[in-house]
């Protein structure tokens, strides 16, 4: 039985994923209530989440550097920290892009994307909550499959969004800025899938 104050890597993975969920929910709120004048303040709010996630990741790394025995291979711990961090970073990148390119209005596909991103992050959190008991868990495989399906939905939205953008817009600046914007939104879905797939790979290695 784990001691009360014992450092638990699996709990820390869940904590990291909670930052992903917080950033995804903030992005969803911003996109659904989009106001250009609020972007600067919202970027600060988003960066605070990302910075807190970084601090959490550094804490895990510091602990790892002093550990002799770890529950899974230390290179897998490091890789998973980075993959989860990539999710939070990619979400922040969407907001940074909107600010840098001075996006004034939100396209409908971005609203669809933000919902997918929230669901994907919640799925990642559930996956990591089940990770410590992966040998007994009946849910972890379904969670990973669901994240994969959400990524496929994101791909479909991306393809149609880019097609509609190039069919309907005559403004080269709008085409350029939203092509990049959709790329960044799609990368959020990819980042969630990559983190989930790494969890699956670690499970296979330890089964």
Burial 25-57 (b: 16+ CB within 10 A, else e): bbbbebbeebeeeebeebbeebeebbebbeebb
- Smallest CA-to-CA distance from 143 within 129, 154, 132, 153 is with 129
* Category of 163 on φ-ψ map: left (φ > 0), alpha (ψ -120 to 50) or beta: alpha
Instruction: Check whether 6 has a pLDDT greater than 90.
Output: no
Asked whether residue 17 is domain-assigned, the answer is yes
Total domains, the chain: 1
Asked whether residue 2 is domain-assigned, the answer is no
Q: Is the pTM higher than 0.85?
A: yes
The residue segments making up the domain with residue 53 are 9-205
Asked whether residue 3 is domain-assigned, the answer is no
What tens digit of pLDDT does each residue of 57-112 get?
999 999 999 988 899 999 999 999 999 999 999 999 999 999 999 999 999 999 99
Asked whether residue 194 is domain-assigned, the answer is yes
- CATH number for 14: 1.20.58.220
- State the pLDDT at residue 67: 86
What tens digit of pLDDT does each residue of 118-172 get?
999 999 999 999 999 998 888 999 999 999 999 999 999 999 999 999 999 999 9
- State the pLDDT at residue 117: 98
Asked whether residue 88 is domain-assigned, the answer is yes
What tens digit of pLDDT does each residue of 21-40 get?
999 999 999 999 999 999 99
Distances 154 to 77, 109, 118, 119 between C-alpha atoms, Å = 27, 10, 12, 11
- State the pLDDT at residue 5: 55
Q: Compute the average pLDDT of residues 162-184.
A: 96
Residue with tokens 């990524």: 151
Confidence of residue 2 (pLDDT cuts 50, 70, 90): very low
DSSP calls for 131-178: HTTTTT-SSHHHHHHHHHHHHHHHHHHHHHHHHHHHHH---HHHHHHH
- State the pLDDT at residue 204: 93
């Amino acid at each position: 039985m784990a001691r009360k104050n014992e450092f638990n890597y699996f709990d820390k993975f869940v904590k990291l994923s909670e930052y992903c969920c917080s950033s995804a929910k903030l992005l969803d709120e911003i996109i659904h209530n989009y106001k250009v004048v609020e972007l600067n303040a919202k970027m600060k709010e988003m960066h605070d989440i990302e910075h807190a996630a970084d601090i959490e990741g550094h804490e895990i790394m510091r602990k790892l550097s002093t550990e002799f025995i770890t529950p899974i291979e230390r290179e897998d711990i490091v890789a998973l920290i980075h993959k989860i961090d990539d999710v939070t970073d990619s979400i922040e990148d969407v907001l940074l892009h909107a600010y840098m390119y001075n996006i004034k209005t939100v396209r409908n596909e971005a609203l669809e994307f933000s919902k997918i991103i929230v669901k994907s992050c919640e799925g990642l959190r559930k996956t990591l909550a089940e990770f410590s008991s992966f040998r007994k868990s009946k849910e972890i495989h379904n969670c990973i499959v669901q994240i994969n399906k959400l990524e496929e939905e994101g791909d479909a939205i991306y393809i149609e969004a880019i097609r509609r953008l190039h069919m309907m817009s005559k403004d080269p600046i709008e085409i350029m800025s939203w092509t990049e914007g959709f790329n960044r939104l799609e990368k959020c879905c990819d980042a969630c899938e990559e983190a989930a797939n790494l969890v699956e790979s670690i499970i296979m290695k330890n089964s």
